[in-house]
Structure 1
Amino acid sequence: MIEVDNIHKTFGDNHVLKGISTTFDKGKTNLIIGQSGSGKTVFLKCLLGLFSPEKGHIRYSGKNYADLTNAEKRDLRQDMGMVFQGSALFDSMTVEKNVSFPLDMFTKQSKSEMQDRVDFVLKRVNLIDAHKKYPSEISGGMQKRVAIARAIVMKPSYLFCDEPNSGLDPKTAILIDNLIQEITEEYDITTVINTHDMNSVMEIGKKIIFLKNGYLEWEGTNKEIFKTDNKAVTDFVYSSELFKKVRQMYIEERN
Structure 2
Amino acid sequence: MIEVNDIHKSFGDTQVLKGISTTFKKGKTNLIIGQSGSGKTVFLKCLLGLFSPEQGSISYDGRDYSNLSGDERRDLRQEMGMVFQGSALFDSMTVEGNVRFPLDMFTKKSKSEKQDRVDFVLKRVNLTEAYDRFPSEISGGMQKRVAIARAIVMNPKYLFCDEPNSGLDPKTATLIDNLIQEITEEYDITTVINTHDMNSVMEIGEKIIFLKDGIKEWEGTKHEIFKTDNEAVTSFVYSSELFEKVRQMYVEERN
- The alignment yields a C-alpha RMSD, in angstroms, of 0.5
- Whole-angstrom CA distance in 1 between matches of 2:193 and 2:203: 13
Aligned partner letter, 1:180: I
- Whole-angstrom CA distance in 1 between matches of 2:84 and 2:34: 18
Q: Which residue of 1 aligns with 2:38?
A: 38
Q: Which runs of 5 or more structure 1 residues have no equivalent in the other structure?
A: none
Q: Which residue of 2 aligns with 1:152?
A: 152
Asked if 1:18 is matched to 2:18, the reply is yes
> What is the correspondence of 1:4-15 to structure 2 with a 5 Å cutoff?
4-15=4-15
Q: % of aligned pairs identical?
A: 84
- Give TM-score, length-normalised by structure 2: 0.99
Q: Secondary structure at the match of 2:161?
A: strand
- Whole-angstrom CA distance in 2 between matches of 1:245 and 1:186: 31
Deviation of 1:129 (Å): 1.1
Q: Which residue of 2 aligns with 1:162?
A: 162
CA shift digits 1:158-200 (9 cap, x unpaired): 0000000000000000000000000000000000000010000
Q: Secondary structure at the match of 1:167?
A: coil
Give aligned pairs, total. 255
- Give TM-score, length-normalised by structure 1: 0.99
Q: Which residue of 1 aligns with 2:101?
A: 101
Q: Which residue of 2 aligns with 1:206?
A: 206
Q: Which residue of 1 aligns with 2:252?
A: 252
Deviation of 1:249 (Å): 1.6
Q: Which residue of 2 aligns with 1:113?
A: 113
- Whole-angstrom CA distance in 2 between matches of 1:83 and 1:251: 34
Q: Which residue of 1 aligns with 2:242?
A: 242
Q: Secondary structure at the match of 1:168?
A: coil
> What is the correspondence of 1:116-131 to structure 2 with a 5 Å cutoff?
116-131=116-131
Deviation of 1:253 (Å): 2.3
- Whole-angstrom CA distance in 2 between matches of 1:191 and 1:253: 30
Deviation of 1:251 (Å): 2.0
- Whole-angstrom CA distance in 2 between matches of 1:173 and 1:247: 20
Asked if 1:85 is matched to 2:85, the reply is yes
Q: Which runs of 5 or more structure 2 residues have no equivalent in the other structure?
A: none
- Whole-angstrom CA distance in 1 between matches of 2:156 and 2:241: 36
Aligned partner letter, 1:46: C
Deviation of 1:242 (Å): 1.0
Q: Which residue of 2 aligns with 1:180?
A: 180
Q: Which residue of 2 aligns with 1:223?
A: 223
CA shift digits 1:40-95 (9 cap, x unpaired): 00000000000000000000001100000000000000000000000000000000
Deviation of 1:3 (Å): 0.1
Deviation of 1:250 (Å): 2.0
Aligned partner letter, 1:115: Q
Q: Secondary structure at the match of 2:229?
A: coil
